[in-house]
Amino acid sequence: MNSSLTAASRGLASCHLCLKLVSHTLHDCPRCGSEIHIRKVNSLQHTLAFLITASILYIPANLLPIMITDQLGRSTESTILGGVVLLIELGSIPIALVIFIASVMIPLAKLLVMFYLCWSVHHGPPEGTRQRTVLYRITEFIGKWSLIDVFVVAILVALIHLSNLLVIRPGIATVAFAGVVIASMLAAESFDPRLMWDQLETEDE
């Protein structure tokens, strides 16, 4: 038996909710009752749509002010990078580092990785399928923690607002960045990594 055969070619399907392996002829999962389908319907189209949305939102998320600082009656608007610099000047280096990594590095890296995985479904080298699957799992896991910096900003706003000398308010970029995170998370959920293994099976035929 060819060890590279997928479950789909053997008449099996995995439940997307509880991951139970069942016959593809079943319409509902016997364990959780979810609808059974061999592959996510229009996976690439949905993934690319969410990725393009996230990419568009990423521009205002970085160009528009994410924080507005009111100090002694003077308001100063800061972008993400500007806010990082401000936090460093205020001595909040750990918070600045978290925001920089979570707001700039992780979203950009996730978008690039997801675009690459979509491209690799039809053009990627079959021998690298296992590595790309691991890369997808890592990206999916990291995406669940992408909103951590939004919570950090919210906590920072609440804490500093207690002072009369310095008040920090969230800017419009916070909404755009939240949209980036949500759209990229939906992209990761829409992507079906089994499509890459289908390519490997085709190469072995």
Compute the distance between CA of residue 60 and CA of residue 58 in angstroms, rounded to an integer. Answer: 6
Task: Report whether pLDDT(46) > 60.
Answer: yes
21-23 vs 67-71, strand pairing mode: unpaired
Q: Where are the chain's structural domains? A: 1-38, 41-204
How would CATH label the architecture of 41-204?
Up-down Bundle (1.20)
Compute the distance between CA of residue 95 and CA of residue 56 in angstroms, rounded to an integer. Answer: 26
Compute the distance between CA of residue 18 and CA of residue 175 in angstroms, rounded to an integer. Answer: 33
pLDDT of residue 112: 93
Compute the distance between CA of residue 169 and CA of residue 158 in angstroms, rounded to an integer. Answer: 9
pLDDT of residue 35: 73
**Quick one: what percent of the chain has pLDDT higher than 90?**
12
Compute the distance between CA of residue 12 and CA of residue 5 in angstroms, rounded to an integer. Answer: 11
Give which of 93, 51, 33 is closest to 183, Cα–Cα: 51
Residues 58-107 pLDDT 10s: 999 888 887 777 777 777 777 888 778 877 888 878 878 877 887 788 88
Ranges 68-72, 107-111, 155-159: which has the least confidence:
155-159
**Helices and strands counted in the chain (H then E):** 8, 5
